[in-house]
């Protein structure tokens, strides 16, 4: 942000070496913060990694590992997974579990990130999704929210790895003509 006298703040004058921005963006999606570590922006990389992964795993634990799953069937369109997928690799086991469920195979890892069974029998004792809601109460929604926000935050981080910090220019600053034009006139 510019200071009051119009000069840029100290950190805006730093030249950021983004190395290969596309590779950094892919790394940032694969693991939050990894893109920044690839660019040797270590402190920011560690900050992003700690914040996003802590939010993600805290949310996942609130819902007993069931709040992240991939499903698109009747009575259970899990649109939240598209937001959760922003966090990258940590969300991918849900796709493996979903594929296994489609083939009729038993879920791996004690049903962790596996889609619920028997959701067609809505609100019956066989409906696993209803059972999860009953067991975890509001923590199921809270865990879903935490993991969704972690995924969406990582979208910001991917952008930061690709393009560098987003500096907001105030309206007054943006209305001013560029210095080169002033010299020409």
Residues lying near another protein in the complex (CB under 8 A) are found at 1, 9-11, 14, 16, 41, 43-44, 47-48, 51-52, 54-55, 58, 138, 142, 145-146, 149-150, 153, 156-157, 159-160, 164-168
Q: Identify which of residues 29 and 48 has a Cβ nearer to another protein in the complex.
A: 48
Q: Give the nearest distance from C-beta 142 to another protein in angstroms.
A: 6
Query: 41: helix, coil or strand?
Result: coil
Q: Give the nearest distance from C-beta 67 to another protein in angstroms.
A: 14
Q: Give the nearest distance from C-beta 128 to another protein in angstroms.
A: 25
Q: Identify which of residues 81 and 139 has a Cβ nearer to another protein in the complex.
A: 139
Q: Identify which of residues 95 and 156 has a Cβ nearer to another protein in the complex.
A: 156
Query: 38: helix, coil or strand?
Result: helix
The phi, psi pair for 74, rounded to 5°, reads -55, 135
The phi, psi pair for 129, rounded to 5°, reads -65, -45
Residues 6+ apart with CB under 8 A from 35: 24, 25, 26, 27, 28, 29, 45, 157, 158, 161, 162
């Amino acid at each position: 942000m510019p200071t009051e006298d119009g000069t840029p703040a100290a950190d805006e004058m730093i030249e950021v070496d983004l190395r290969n921005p596309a590779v950094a963006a892919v790394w940032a999606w694969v693991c939050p913060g990894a893109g920044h570590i690839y660019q040797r922006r270590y402190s920011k990389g560690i900050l992003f990694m700690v914040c996003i992964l802590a939010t993600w795993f805290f949310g996942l634990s609130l819902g007993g590992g069931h709040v992240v799953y991939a499903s698109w069937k009747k009575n259970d369109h899990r649109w939240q997974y598209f937001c959760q997928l922003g966090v990258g690799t940590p969300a991918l086991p849900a796709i493996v579990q979903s594929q296994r469920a489609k083939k009729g195979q038993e879920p791996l890892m004690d049903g962790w990130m596996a889609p619920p069974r028997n959701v067609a029998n809505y609100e019956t004792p066989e409906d696993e999704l209803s059972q999860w809601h009953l067991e975890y109460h509001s923590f199921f929604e809270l865990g879903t929210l935490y993991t969704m926000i972690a995924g969406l935050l990582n979208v910001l981080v991917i952008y930061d790895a690709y393009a560098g910090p987003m500096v907001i220019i105030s309206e007054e600053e943006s209305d001013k003509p560029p210095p080169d034009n002033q010299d020409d006139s």
